[in-house]
Amino acid sequence: MMRLVPLVMSFFEKRDREDMTDNKSKDDERIADLIDQNLKMVYSDLVQEQLPDRFKDLLDVLKAQDAEQKGNS
Amino acid sequence: MSEDPRNELVDHLPALRAFALSLTRNGATADDMVQDTVVKAWTNIDKFKPGTKMRVWLFTILRNTYYSSRRKLNREVADVDGVFTATLSVKPDHDGRMQMSDFKQAFELLPDEQREALILVGASGFSYEEAADMCGVAVGTVKSRANRGRAKLTELLHLDEEGPMELTEPATMAVISGAGTVPQ
């Protein structure tokens, strides 16, 4: 009977340790998900920002330059 | 005759600018980077391989532009003007989760390589392979950069502590409950 005690103890210790590692990795996963959710929110807010006019203007200038070059050659 | 791939450029500008903003954290610099990228892409369109993702190509040009200008300026500390944190009004989180503004501030503190890896794989939907391609490094390197970035955010935002999502600071609570001035 007495010999069983250390065995039982080690069983519980092992189980607790496993539980802890389990919880730890679950926690890590939950934190990583939370971070990625926030990243997506931040990024999609930036994507949805109004695009400054200068980029449309720039593309128009580039197109016009090309057309001019084609006309000259 | 196939369509000029340059017509597709405009569709990628919002994403390209979002990437530039998260990389530079400076509105003026970000827009200059996007402009440079558009001009480079336009004039080097023959180097774009049809059938590949144009967004990957454009992001690659932009990040090369960013890192070469950073090297030229020989500056590790970027000129951050807070445009990133100021882009949005803070949405109150009724379920007591972490505040967006806190998250953005912490995110701005990460090194370029970690911020970049997190944006590419965590937010903009690229695969680890595509991100590795863009950054010119191994897939494992992108993974470890992203993981280090997550670990740093966890530390900065105290996410691994007991009850991390609660707003329990007296100052925050005072603001939320509209209690007025915070005692000094």
Helix, strand and coil in chain B, % to nearest 5: 65, 0, 35
pLDDT of residue A72: 76
Whole-number Å distance between alpha carbons of B18 and B119: 10
pLDDT of residue A18: 64
For residue A58, pLDDT beyond 90: yes
**Yes or no, beta carbons of A42 and B123 under 8 Å apart:** yes
pLDDT of residue B100: 81
The per-residue pLDDT for range B141-150, each reduced to its tens digit, is: 999 999 999 9
Model pTM? 0.77
Task: Confirm or reject contact between B154 and chain A (CB < 8 A).
Answer: yes
**Yes or no, beta carbons of B14 and A47 under 8 Å apart:** yes
For residue A20, pLDDT beyond 50: yes
| Amino acid of residue B45 | I
Q: What are phi and psi of B109, to 5 degrees?
A: -80, -15
The rounded percent of chain A whose pLDDT value lies above 90 is 45
pLDDT of residue B96: 47
- Mean pLDDT across A26-43: 91
pLDDT of residue B21: 95
Q: Does ipTM come in above 0.95?
A: no
The parent domain of residue A42 ranges over 4-72
Name the helix (H) or strand (E) containing A46.
helix A4-47
Longest dimension (CA), chain B: 71
Q: Considering only residues B88 and A36, tell me which one the structure prediction assigns the higher pLDDT.
A: A36
Of B13, B87, B118, the CB nearest to A55: B13
**Which domains are assigned to chain B?**
1-87 (1.10.1740.10), 90-176 (1.10.10.10)
| Amino acid of residue B182 | V
Under-50 pLDDT residues of chain B:
1, 88-92, 95-96, 164-184
As for how many domains chain A has, the answer is 1
